[in-house]
Amino acid sequence: MDGSAYCFIYLILKVGICELNAYKKFFRIKKSVRIQEYDKWVELLPFNGFKLSFFIDFNHPIINFDKQYYNLNFSAISFINDIGPARTFGFIKDIEYLHKHGLALGSSIDCVIVIDNNKILNQNGLRFNNEFVRHKLLDAIGDLFLYGYNIIGEFNAFKAGHAINNKLLRTIISNPDSWELITFNNDQESPIKFNIPNSSIINNRFYSK
């Protein structure tokens, strides 16, 4: 594993996808819900599709201002090519503390982007110049999908992490008037596109056996 979702994506596509004889259910947001904790916040808003925006805030020369924001109109292709390859990251100054508390024990430069005081230690550098915020958006997509359905709505976040993302999802679920489960009769009606017209367009340069 390399700290991204790409190994899973590559192997799933290599095996192939089987279409089920059932309607796909979607989790549609009907009312806006926002969670704020100090300077961190997340929100889900009604939107006919699934789009996400994320802003991180790190005071570090490698992660400068123009690399800290990313937005995505979600589709199967955009997830595979633009978000899935983004790896998790960490600061070398935090390693001693994490290990002391039994955390990140399996981490290494092979599965984490390691950041020093003023440089990236990984030999091949970054896959995207804004890979850090793309991975945070990947985290958020995973957190939201824990409910088991594709979301129809808009997700926005500032300095968010797993805990506040999960709190947002739990808050939405506990308010039945803010969401509904729906289906569509065919792919053309769905506002989210899942078709992968040609698997050869998938960039497999990130995957190594």
- The answer, yes or no, to whether residue 171 has pLDDT greater than 90, is yes
Domain count, the chain: 2
- The answer, yes or no, to whether residue 204 has pLDDT greater than 70, is no
Same domain for 105 and 136, yes or no, is no
Same domain for 77 and 120, yes or no, is no
User: What does the pLDDT look like over 119-135, one tens digit per residue?
Assistant: 999 999 999 999 999 99
Same domain for 135 and 65, yes or no, is yes
Print burial letters for 28-47: b (CB count within 10 Å at least 16), e (below 16): bbeeebebeeeeebbbbeee
Same domain for 117 and 192, yes or no, is no
User: What does the pLDDT look like over 37-57, one tens digit per residue?
Assistant: 999 999 999 999 999 999 999
Could you tell me if residue 95 is inside a domain? yes
Same domain for 186 and 103, yes or no, is no
Same domain for 99 and 75, yes or no, is no
What lies within 8 Å, CB to CB, of 122 at 6+ separation is 109, 113, 114
Question: How far is Cα 209 from Cα 201, in angstroms, rounded to an integer?
Answer: 19
Same domain for 63 and 146, yes or no, is yes
Could you tell me if residue 30 is inside a domain? yes
Q: In the annotation, is 162 catalytic? A: yes
Candidates 60, 99, 135, 162; catalytic one = 162
* Structural domain harbouring 66: 6-16+24-87+131-201
User: In the listed set 75, 97, 126, which residue is the last one of a domain according to the structure?
Assistant: 126
Largest pairwise CA distance in the chain: 54
pTM assigned to the model:
0.90
